[in-house]
């Protein structure tokens, strides 16, 4: 590597030195995102947006396979609607943006920019639902929402973010519960099979659940710095909103009833998760499923020995099934290009020069292992397709290992405090499930209950934090 190459790498602060600065360096230098003139609002640049499009495509297909249809509800919600469900307004009112004027006129009633759409959607559902024959309602929307946040970081917590929100109605509690868990399962598969990001799934504590929910389910991923990321939630809202919004239907038995209700969402936050689970000190490491460029071809000495022609041929051959690009910029050296594409996290690089053409071969570089291998040209496409799968599997495995290394058991509160101070990660512990205990844990360690996992282990009889009887095993961590 030349001098220029070394300078290139040094632009990203090592994560061991300052993880927050590492994150900021990565997202800005790889052109995922930029800050906007409005504090807390981000601009998603084409490279970042292409990741979101790939996530959208996968998830939208999964939603449609399971019978959901997309629609679009208004951006602005009257204050009176937001107030209809008591817990909901209490949770969201402090963080909404208010529209008070339309054109030159002051509005008779303030409108909030949607922080989430349960209220406006329930208002419409109350108009649409007549009979049990209409059920289930299985609708989703892709949109942006606004929550006025004091402290923000691109992708992880911003005053505006992009997401999808599913809103469904069902005849019975059981069907609503089944839907809630089905969507959580789709989220888990998205995380693991598309993003190579292992997650723990389970239920939120009463304190941490969604404002207005009967029960909230979550998937939680562990980042490189040992902090957890809530990566997607699915809520069984039971009849809380359908009662408040007076949604009724004529049931099979001729009685008017309130349907059961779910909502579920994931957001551009997932991109923050991808960065912090897979990234390293060279920059991004993107899972092949969502990488905007899965393979980059860098010609070496492009003007010699038919390199350009061969590169064009390889490009044309790969293009149909793989997101491939050729970097034929003339004013950059191959070494510079290697570093840039490594920083941008492209899973595979093909290097090909006159020597390679003589030998009917190319060099394949893997971003995840930093390993190179020589491949015969007539096996290139097969090899590339196989390696993209290998990269995914390796990223998922590495992330699982990282998580396991940072997952601890504790015997008492002192151990918990020490872990959270010195080597944060997931702590698995029995818990009494009491609010007072939960508040104390947070106050003294900054950790919160991330979830009560579906996969329970019996680690003891008492709550190690307060000594009372243990009810469940839970995951605790500091969180984004």
Chosen residue from 4, 7, 20, 144 binding its own copies by CB under 8 A: 144
C-alpha to C-alpha distance for 49 and 66, rounded to whole angstroms: 25
Chosen residue from 11, 16, 18, 34 binding its own copies by CB under 8 A: 34
Q: Least Å distance between CB 152 and its own copies?
A: 12
Backbone angles phi, psi at 419, to 5 degrees: -60, -45
Three-class SS of residue 107?
strand
Chosen residue from 3, 17, 38, 253 binding its own copies by CB under 8 A: 38
Look at phi and psi of residue 149 and say left if phi exceeds 0, alpha if psi is from -120 to 50, else beta: beta
Q: Is the dihedral of CA 97, 90, 269, 216 positive or negative?
A: negative
Query: Is residue 479 involved in binding its own copies (CB under 8 A)?
Result: no
**For its own copies, which stretch binds (CB under 8 A), given 1-9, 45-53, 257-265, 458-466?**
45-53
- The DSSP annotation for 28-48 comes to HHTTSEEE-SSTT-EEE-HHH
* Closest to 390 in 3D by CA, of 363, 362, 366: 366
Three-class SS of residue 157?
strand
Q: Least Å distance between CB 98 and its own copies?
A: 4
Chosen residue from 2, 20, 21, 72 binding its own copies by CB under 8 A: 72
The secondary structure element, H or E, covering residue 82 is helix 79-82
Q: Least Å distance between CB 458 and its own copies?
A: 43
Cβ distance to its own copies smaller for residue 332 or 409: 332
Q: Least Å distance between CB 204 and its own copies?
A: 23
Span 52-71, contacts to its own copies by CB under 8 A: 52-53, 69-71
Q: Least Å distance between CB 87 and its own copies?
A: 18
C-alpha to C-alpha distance for 149 and 334, rounded to whole angstroms: 43
Q: Least Å distance between CB 390 and its own copies?
A: 29
Q: Least Å distance between CB 65 and its own copies?
A: 13
Pair 56, 292: CB distance under 8 Å: no
Cβ distance to its own copies smaller for residue 146 or 432: 146
Cβ distance to its own copies smaller for residue 110 or 282: 110
Query: Is residue 159 involved in binding its own copies (CB under 8 A)?
Result: yes
Q: Least Å distance between CB 108 and its own copies?
A: 10
- Tokens read off for 465: 């934090």
HSE-CB of 386 using CA atoms within 13 angstroms? 7
Chosen residue from 9, 28, 76, 459 binding its own copies by CB under 8 A: 76
Q: How far is CA 265 from the centre of its chain?
A: 10
Cβ distance to its own copies smaller for residue 121 or 221: 121
**For its own copies, which stretch binds (CB under 8 A), given 74-82, 182-190, 205-213, 425-433?**
74-82
Residues in the chain: 480
- Crossing angle, helix 334-343 and helix 3-10, to 10 degrees? 10
**For its own copies, which stretch binds (CB under 8 A), given 119-127, 356-364, 455-463, 468-476?**
119-127
Query: Is residue 313 involved in binding its own copies (CB under 8 A)?
Result: no
HSE-CB of 29 using CA atoms within 13 angstroms? 24
Dihedral, CA atoms, 230, 234, 239, 243, nearest 10 degrees? 70
444 Cβ partners below 8 Å, 6+ apart?
Answer: 413, 417
Q: Least Å distance between CB 123 and its own copies?
A: 6
C-alpha to C-alpha distance for 323 and 414, rounded to whole angstroms: 51
Query: Is residue 41 involved in binding its own copies (CB under 8 A)?
Result: yes
Dihedral, CA atoms, 319, 270, 160, 284, nearest 10 degrees? -60
Query: Is residue 181 involved in binding its own copies (CB under 8 A)?
Result: no
Cβ distance to its own copies smaller for residue 8 or 49: 49
Span 86-105, contacts to its own copies by CB under 8 A: 94-104
Query: Is residue 160 involved in binding its own copies (CB under 8 A)?
Result: yes
Footprint of its own copies (CB under 8 A): 34, 36-38, 41-46, 48-50, 52-53, 69-78, 81, 94-104, 110-111, 113, 120, 123-124, 127-128, 133, 139, 143-144, 146, 148, 159-160, 162, 331
């Amino acid at each position: 590597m030349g001098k220029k190459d070394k300078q290139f790498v040094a632009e990203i602060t090592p994560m061991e030195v300052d993880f927050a600065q590492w994150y900021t360096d990565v997202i800005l230098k790889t052109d995922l995102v930029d800050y906007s003139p409005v504090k807390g609002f981000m601009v998603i640049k084409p490279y970042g947006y292409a990741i979101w499009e790939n996530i959208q495509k996968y998830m939208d297909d999964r939603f449609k396979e399971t019978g959901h249809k997309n629609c679009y509800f208004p951006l602005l919600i009257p204050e009176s609607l937001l107030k209809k469900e008591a817990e909901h307004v209490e949770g969201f009112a402090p963080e909404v943006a208010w529209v008070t004027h339309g054109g030159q006129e002051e509005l008779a009633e303030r409108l909030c920019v949607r922080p989430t759409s349960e209220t406006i959607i329930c208002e419409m559902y109350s108009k649409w639902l007549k009979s049990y024959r209409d059920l289930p309602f299985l609708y989703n929307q892709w949109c942006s929402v606004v929550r006025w946040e004091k402290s923000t970081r691109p992708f992880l917590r911003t005053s505006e973010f992009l997401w999808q929100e599913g809103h469904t109605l069902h005849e019975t509690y059981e069907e609503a519960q089944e839907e809630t868990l089905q969507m959580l399962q789709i989220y888990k598969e998205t995380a693991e099979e598309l993003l190579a990001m292992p997650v723990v799934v389970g239920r939120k504590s009463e304190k941490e659940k969604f404002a207005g929910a009967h029960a909230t389910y979550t998937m939680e991923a562990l980042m490189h710095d040992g902090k957890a990321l809530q990566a997607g939630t699915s809520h069984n809202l039971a009849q809380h909103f359908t009662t408040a919004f007076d949604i009724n239907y004529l049931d099979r038995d001729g009685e008017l009833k309130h349907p059961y209700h779910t909502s579920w969402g994931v957001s551009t936050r997932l991109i923050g998760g991808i960065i912090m689970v897979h990234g390293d000190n060279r920059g991004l490491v993107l899972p092949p499923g969502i990488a905007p460029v899965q393979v980059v071809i860098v010609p070496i000495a492009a003007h010699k020995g038919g390199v350009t022609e061969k590169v064009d041929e390889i490009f044309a051959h790969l293009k149909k099934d793989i997101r491939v690009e050729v970097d034929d910029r003339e004013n950059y050296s191959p070494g510079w290009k290697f570093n840039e594409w490594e920083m941008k996290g492209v899973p595979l690089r093909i290097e090909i020069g006159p020597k390679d053409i003589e030998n009917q071969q190319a060099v394949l570089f893997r971003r995840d292992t930093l390993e190179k291998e020589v491949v015969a040209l007539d096996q290139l496409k097969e090899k590339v397709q196989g390696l993209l799968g290998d990269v995914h599997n390796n990223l998922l495995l590495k992330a699982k290992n990282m998580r396991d290394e940072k997952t601890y058991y504790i015997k008492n509160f002192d151990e918990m405090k020490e872990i959270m101070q010195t080597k944060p990660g997931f702590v698995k512990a029995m818990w009494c499930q009491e609010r007072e205990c939960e508040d104390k844990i947070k106050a003294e360690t900054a950790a919160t209950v991330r979830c009560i996992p579906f996969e329970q282990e019996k680690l003891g009889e008492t709550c190690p934090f307060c000594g009372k009887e243990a009810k469940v095993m839970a995951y605790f961590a500091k969180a984004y």
